[in-house]
Amino acid sequence: MKKPTLFASVVLLTISWKVSTARNGPFFCQELSWSPDGKRIAFSARTEKEPFEIYVVNADGSGLKQLTNDSSEDYWTSWSPDGKKIAFNSNRDGNYEIYIMDADGSNPTRLTNHAEKDIGPSFSPDGKKIAFTSVRDGNYELYVMNVNGTGLKRLTNTPHKEYNPIWSPDGKRLVYYYEKGDRKDQIYICNADGSNPRNITNNEANNIFPAWMAGGKEIIFTSNPNRVEGIYSIKPDGSGLKSVKTGERRAFFARYSPDGSKLAVITGGWPSSNITIINADGSNPIPVQLAGTDEYKQLMVVREFAQARAGGDNIRALSYLADTCRIWFEKKEGPGRPWKMDGPWAHWDEFFHSKQTYRDWKSEGNAVSAIIDETNDYYRLLDWEPAPVLLTWWLDGNDKIAGYLVKGLEEGPAKNRMEEFKEWAQKNHPEELAYLLPEGKINPDGDRPERWRKILVEWRKAAGLKPVLLSD
């Protein structure tokens, strides 16, 4: 049997996560990393209400592209040596874990799976290992694993916290920062196996976010010896401390390009920071423009519409729709039908406590798409395992939603007990079954939702099935 409840109700269901109403920032950029060929920069950025997402931009400031697009926090990037993968941490599965994805944002794969945080990944120069920070043993310590998530090994074991491990160019050492909770974090270096840790800053400042400079002869990091954050460099033996020209007074994160010719620096502070790409001598600053990209604007139109619908603000939701907005199911063929936000499905969805989780948001051209996972009491009563659904919205030249396609991603028959229920109901309540399924199709009109629930509860009890814990 087809799943009309899924296809009809996705227009009306509430949304299980909150989305931002900020459309153009300001953006806060937290970290960045250069591609091995020095042609691109990956970085994470967020707005005050939106979570961190990962972007990539060309080294000349052009070609900005958003790689992740979901309701979770995605940040802390590290490129694989061949430039084909990006490692990052995300809480998209409910807890911070280490992931890798293709450099275009596709094929995200989780590498760790632990109840405690795994954060701050760093590819080794040979691409075979990833160093990171984890709380899995009760404290923030450094770990290393194979690039496929196997071969986990703990590197540090101290009473305090270690963050931000970065491999030396020859793969023999790691640089990281050590936090004791006194706002005087120190930069440390250890061997790749965790042995021989050494404090190379050993001062009264707060020293964080270290990384090796080209050739491994110096280390760049953030410090505040004068109570103002800035970028500094130091030699691995702790000598030669000096400030780095960034062209800005307050800079809190910087990375040199692989050949050392350019410096990408983050300036500003919460809630607004920016990335500027400059020559190594501090000249020729190129700002990276984040806010106001067409793809981001379109994405936020749809997400703001979804938020308004979830909050029951139909007046605001209607402001995002074109007057001639249409909807299609399965294929965008023919004229479609007018999209009406109100109707009998609204009561159905409210009564059965329908919820959706959106994921894998994408914005390309004039289209925005997302995959939706749905749950409600009706499905639970029928042991129904609904397949994900792909939703696609089209926007017109005025940034109004002009069309909407609902496409099921399921192949083969749906997994549920509908046929078992119908067989029982035909024997015991044939008139009620005919009322609930006029012409063999689910109809949400009138008191049908209430009567569906009553008869399904009775059927489950008669069939000896486990009672379902309903939402109310």
pLDDT digits (tens, 9 = 90+) for 286-324: 888 665 567 767 877 887 788 777 777 888 888 899 989
Q: What is the DSSP letter of 387?
A: P
* Angle value at C-alpha 281, between 280 and 284, nearest 5 degrees: 85
What percent of the chain stands above pLDDT 70? 91
Residues linked to residue 394 through DSSP beta bridges, in sequence order: 367, 403
Task: Using alpha carbons, select from 67, 72, 70, 2 the residue that is nearest to residue 35.
Answer: 67
Average pLDDT over all residues of the chain = 87
Task: Using alpha carbons, select from 288, 364, 368, 360 the residue that is nearest to residue 90.
Answer: 360
How far apart (Å, rounded) are the C-alpha atoms in residues 452 and 469?
A: 16
Q: What is the DSSP letter of 216?
A: G
- Residue pair 266/274 in contact (Cβ under 8 Å)? The answer is yes
Q: Which residues of 284-313 are buried (b: 16+ CB within 10 A; e: fewer)?
A: ebbebebbebebbebbbbbbbbbbbbbeee
How far apart (Å, rounded) are the C-alpha atoms in residues 221 and 198?
A: 16
Can you list the alpha helix ranges (DSSP code H) found in 156-232?
Answer: none
- Residue listed under structure tokens 């590819």: 123
How far apart (Å, rounded) are the C-alpha atoms in residues 176 and 134?
A: 13
Task: Using alpha carbons, select from 4, 11, 36 the residue that is nearest to residue 403.
Answer: 11
**pLDDT (average), residues 363-387:** 89
How far apart (Å, rounded) are the C-alpha atoms in residues 276 and 254?
A: 10
How far apart (Å, rounded) are the C-alpha atoms in residues 54 and 43?
A: 6
Q: According to the model, what pLDDT value does residue 20 have?
A: 30
pTM above 0.85, yes or no: no
Q: How far is CA 462 from the centre of its chain?
A: 44
**What is the DSSP annotation of 29-59?**
EEEEEE-TTSSEEEEEEE-SSSPPEEEEEET
Q: According to the model, what pLDDT value does residue 270 have?
A: 79
Q: According to the model, what pLDDT value does residue 402 have?
A: 93
Task: Using alpha carbons, select from 338, 337, 327, 444 the residue that is nearest to residue 391.
Answer: 327
- Residue listed under structure tokens 């760790």: 112
Q: According to the model, what pLDDT value does residue 19 have?
A: 28
- Residue pair 245/200 in contact (Cβ under 8 Å)? The answer is no
Q: How far is CA 428 from the centre of its chain?
A: 49
* 321-329 vs 401-408, strand pairing mode: parallel
Query: Between these two residues, 283 and 106, which has the higher pLDDT value?
Result: 106
How many other CB atoms are there within 10 angstroms of residue 153's CB atom?
Answer: 13
How far apart (Å, rounded) are the C-alpha atoms in residues 343 and 329?
A: 17
Q: How does pLDDT run across 145-201, given as a tens digit for each residue? A: 999 999 999 999 999 999 999 999 999 999 999 998 888 999 999 999 999 999 999
What percent of the chain stands above pLDDT 90? 56
Q: Is the peptide bond before 169 cis (omega within 30 degrees of 0)?
A: no
Task: Report all structural domains of the chain as residue ranges with CATH numbers, in order of start.
Answer: 1-24+292-472 (3.10.450.50), 28-290 (2.120.10.30)
Sign, Cα dihedral of 240, 255, 96, 73: positive
Whether 428 shows a pLDDT value over 80: the answer reads: yes
Q: According to the model, what pLDDT value does residue 412 have?
A: 64
